[in-house]
Amino acid sequence: MPAPGPLELALCAAAAWALLALVALAFRTRAWGRRALHAPPAGDAAAGAGARYAFTKGMLPQAKESVRTHLPSYAAGLVFHGGVFASFGLLAASLAGFEPGSALLRLGGAAAGVGALAGLGLLGKRIASPVLRGLSAPDDYVANVLTSVFAALASLAAFAPDARAASLVAGAALLLYVPVGKIRHCLLFFPARYEMGRFFGRRGTFPPASRRAA
């Protein structure tokens, strides 16, 4: 494998920054300690059932009103996230010295490309909808553009070696932004979801009574 060049080193530095910053955020989520709950538990005081439900059946469309009424956007979001994961896999393969053109890279490139289209579709919906525009902050647009462009370039690089440099630059830019923008939900989602499941499980509302026997 050839020695890493400036772009590869810049990408590795951006990845190190993102990792260290996310670790620091993980510690900060515990900085205020755990809130004392004084009311007697009406459900699972150990947080097990509520947390399990929050990460399993509580993630399904039928458990979320906001998802049930927007299934196309939900599906597009799944495709978008899948494309981003595929893009990072392609980036790792590129750093490992894999050459474009293999069947596995082409498959990953296709997934990344479809994910980029889904991301751009969600961006278009945000721009076109007055309601979504009113709810949106600049971070919403920056995060989508950085991620969609990265996925598109990763897809292109899987088929065309000339696009590799651009995909490395886009990957580094995205990694630099991850800890400071909304993309940090890739980490914060998990403790937030766990605490929600723990709290509502203790209250006896997670899982809902209609689903406890299922």
pLDDT of 145 reads: 97
Rounded CA-CA distance 160/145 in Å is: 22
pLDDT of 143 reads: 97
pLDDT of 210 reads: 63
Do 139 and 129 meet the contact criterion of CB atoms below 8 Å apart?
A: no
Residue 28 falls inside a structural domain: no
Tokens, residue 202 = 């203790």
pLDDT tens by residue, 76-119: 999 999 999 999 999 998 888 787 677 888 999 999 999 999 99
pLDDT tens by residue, 1-41: 556 788 999 999 999 999 999 999 988 888 777 778 788 88
For CA atoms 98, 103, 109, 115, give the dihedral sign.
negative
Residue 3 falls inside a structural domain: no
Residue 13 falls inside a structural domain: no
HSE-up of residue 171 (Cα within 13 Å, Cβ side): 31
Task: Specify the range with the lowest mean pLDDT, choosing from 12-21, 114-123, 168-177, 204-213.
Answer: 204-213
Residue 187 falls inside a structural domain: yes
For CA atoms 180, 181, 183, 189, give the dihedral sign.
positive
Query: Letter for the amino acid at 36?
Result: A
Residue 145 falls inside a structural domain: yes
DSSP string, 85-151: HHHHHHHHHHHTTPPTT-HHHHHHHHHHHHHHHHHHHHHHHHHH-HHHHHH--HHHHHHHHHHHHHH
Rounded CA-CA distance 108/83 in Å is: 8
Q: Which residue has the higher pLDDT, 205 or 143?
A: 143
Residue 9 falls inside a structural domain: no
Residue 27 falls inside a structural domain: no
Tokens, residue 175 = 């990694």
Do 126 and 141 meet the contact criterion of CB atoms below 8 Å apart?
A: yes
- Reported confidence tier of residue 68, pLDDT bands at 50, 70, 90: confident
CATH number of the domain that 56 lies in?
1.20.950
pLDDT of 2 reads: 58
Rounded CA-CA distance 70/156 in Å is: 30
Residue 112 falls inside a structural domain: yes
Domain count, the chain: 1
Do 181 and 142 meet the contact criterion of CB atoms below 8 Å apart?
A: yes
Rounded CA-CA distance 79/73 in Å is: 10
Q: What percent of the chain has pLDDT over 70?
A: 95
- Reported confidence tier of residue 54, pLDDT bands at 50, 70, 90: very high
Q: Which domain holds residue 99?
A: 42-208
- Reported confidence tier of residue 176, pLDDT bands at 50, 70, 90: very high
User: If you average pLDDT over residues 166-181, what whole number do you get?
Assistant: 96
